[in-house]
Amino acid sequence: MTPQPPHPVHALTSRELAGYRRQLEHAIKGIDPAAPVQALLHHNLEEVLGEQHSRAALTATAGRADSGPAPAAAAARRSSPDRRTTPMTGPSPADPGAAPRDDLTPRVFRALYRAFDLHTVGGTHIAVPTGTPCYAAPSLSEVARKISAREHPEPAAPPAIPPGPLDRRPAR
């Protein structure tokens, strides 16, 4: 029986692809070279090797399909000193020196994931289930104090009893 991958070759992870390649190489070595199944094994191995080669080429070219030099127009755009980059989720800022406003992404997140509260602290987004407490402080010890205070609240002070007629002692 020839080795079969769990998915089509193009859909295998790199680890699955390497494992399938080892299985095919082992099967080729373990079967008589004159066996008719050798052609199928070699064909499958060539397919795996081609997939590995194309992935290596994509990695080497940083994901660009062509490995040649970039067109002159694109190179000129990249080297232009007055070129600004603006995220697609917000409009261009009125002041070129101002940071672009990006409030669409959090709004979309909140609309899609209503069961979560979204907090943004210093550019880091934190999502916690709705109703779950979220503690933030400049130091870890302060966070620990806040958690401890919530888990173990201070006992309520007993109510003060005003002095009444029974609390008075006779004068001597």
The whole-angstrom separation of Cα 15 and Cα 80 is 42
Tell me if 116 sits within 8 A of 122, measured CB to CB. Answer: no
Tell me if 92 sits within 8 A of 84, measured CB to CB. Answer: yes
Residue 31 falls inside a structural domain: yes
Confidence of residue 100 (pLDDT cuts 50, 70, 90): low
Tell me if 31 sits within 8 A of 14, measured CB to CB. Answer: no
Residue 114 falls inside a structural domain: yes
Confidence of residue 86 (pLDDT cuts 50, 70, 90): very low
Residue 163 falls inside a structural domain: no
Picking from 101, 100, 118, the residue whose alpha carbon sits closest to that of residue 109 is 118
Domain count across the chain: 2
Question: Of 23-27, 131-135, 150-154, which gets the smallest average pLDDT?
Answer: 150-154
Share above pLDDT 70 across residues of the chain, in percent, rounded to a whole number: 67
Residue 47 falls inside a structural domain: yes
Residue 1 falls inside a structural domain: no
The whole-angstrom separation of Cα 104 and Cα 84 is 20
Q: Which domain holds residue 51?
A: 9-60
Residue 72 falls inside a structural domain: no
Q: What pLDDT shows up at residue 144?
A: 82
Q: What pLDDT shows up at residue 49?
A: 92
pTM: 0.38
Residue 161 falls inside a structural domain: no
Mean pLDDT within 55-62: 77
Residue 139 falls inside a structural domain: yes
The whole-angstrom separation of Cα 25 and Cα 32 is 13
Question: What are the structure tokens assigned to 48, written together?
Answer: 């795996």
Mean pLDDT within 17-27: 89
